[in-house]
Amino acid sequence: MKERILEFLKRENKTSAQFAEEIHVQPSGISHIISGRNKPSLDFVIKMLEKYTFLSTEWLMFGKGSMYKEPKMGDLFSENNMVQSENITETTPAQTLKMNFESAQGKDIRQSVGENAYPDDSEAVKVVWFYSDGSFEEFYPRKH
């Protein structure tokens, strides 16, 4: 499990001190696990899985499957900005937004999402679409 914890820290770009603070354990405890002096306790594993809900229990405990349960967005400028788990077919938030946008074209957006979804004085100033290849497009509403 030590190797998987180290791999997780590297993949998430976290220092052991950041990690310790985030899961509320002593930095020395992390140091002892990383050095191999101590094995992670059940309490440690539970804290880690509660904090990082996207982390696969099977992977952490047994080294089986993918590190992540579901897609995890990376930064826009990394080469591999989406880490995928196996056999995921759920619609991403971006896909849902795109489908809603396409179905709402030509309609007042308030009709599509519900009359009370936005205050009467709200006005979109810019919409940004982020794509899986790291590119993006900006759209500005037409002024009437």
**Digit-coded pLDDT (tens) for 89-135:** 555 545 555 565 555 555 554 454 455 555 556 676 778 778 777 77
Q: Is 57 part of any domain?
A: yes
What predicted TM-score, i.e. pTM, was given to this entire model?
0.48
Is 50 within a domain?
A: yes
Determine, yes or no, domain membership for 144. Answer: no
Check which CATH number belongs to the domain holding 52 and give it.
1.10.260.40
Looking at the predicted structure, is the pLDDT value of residue 62 above 70? yes
| Number of domains observed in the structure of the chain | 1
Q: Which domain covers residue 38, as residue numbers?
A: 2-83
75 belongs to a structural domain: yes
CA-to-CA distance for 141 and 33, rounded, in angstroms? 54
Q: Is the pLDDT of residue 21 over 90?
A: yes
61 in a domain, yes or no?
yes
Tell me if 16 is assigned to some domain: yes
**Per the domain annotation, does 17 fall within a domain?**
yes
Beta-strand (E) ranges in the chain?
A: 72-73, 82-83, 127-130, 136-139
**Cβ-based neighbour number of residue 39 at 10 Å:** 10
